[in-house]
Amino acid sequence: MASGDPLFRIGAWDFNPSGTNGALFQTRQSATTEKEVFHIAAFDDTTDQYLDIQLTMPDAYAGTTGITCSIRWAATVTTSTTIWKIGLRRLADDATGSDLDASHTYAFNSVTASPASASGEVAYDSITFTDGADMDNVVAGDEFNLRIYRDAVTDGMSGDAQLLSIYIYET
């Protein structure tokens, strides 16, 4: 693969809420007569909430430059900023750090993002990972967990941040 090549497109409802403080799955409907329904994950404005998804890095991933995660999200407000954070956990073959029963400390990368200019419009913001330790040494063929959360305790945006999807491509 090469820089810019897509690796994953993950819809909000493809994720699993974490065992504690999971984001809530909801829908948002358009105002048209034949209402469109958009699946979102709503991240609260007062509590840090999390989503997880288990993925396999494609064999074609070159692994020399890293990945970029484009977060596609909406809000009902248009002021202040929110902080999105993403971390990866490598699930390597027969490795101590891959024990599914053990706790894991994620090294999160983040973006401070402003909502779109109108309620319901979608904003695109990116978080980039360099290869190696920045992405928990995930390489082609590895199983890994991707965790996203809104740092609501630190950010200043009121109301829910509503995740629509994440598009991941090779940087």
The CATH number assigned to the domain holding 113 equals: 2.60.120.260
Identify which of 47, 56, 42 has the alpha carbon closest to the alpha carbon of residue 7: 56
Specify if 53 maps to a domain: yes
Specify if 1 maps to a domain: no
The amino acid that residue 92 corresponds to is A
Q: What is the pTM of this model?
A: 0.93
Number of domains in the chain: 1
* Residue ranges making up the domain that contains 87: 6-170
**Contact 151/83 with Cβ under 8 angstroms?**
yes
pLDDT at site 86: 98
Q: Write down the mean pLDDT value for the chain.
A: 93
Specify if 72 maps to a domain: yes
Q: What pLDDT, in 10s, does the model give residues 53-91?
A: 999 999 999 888 899 999 999 998 999 999 999 999 999
pLDDT at site 159: 93
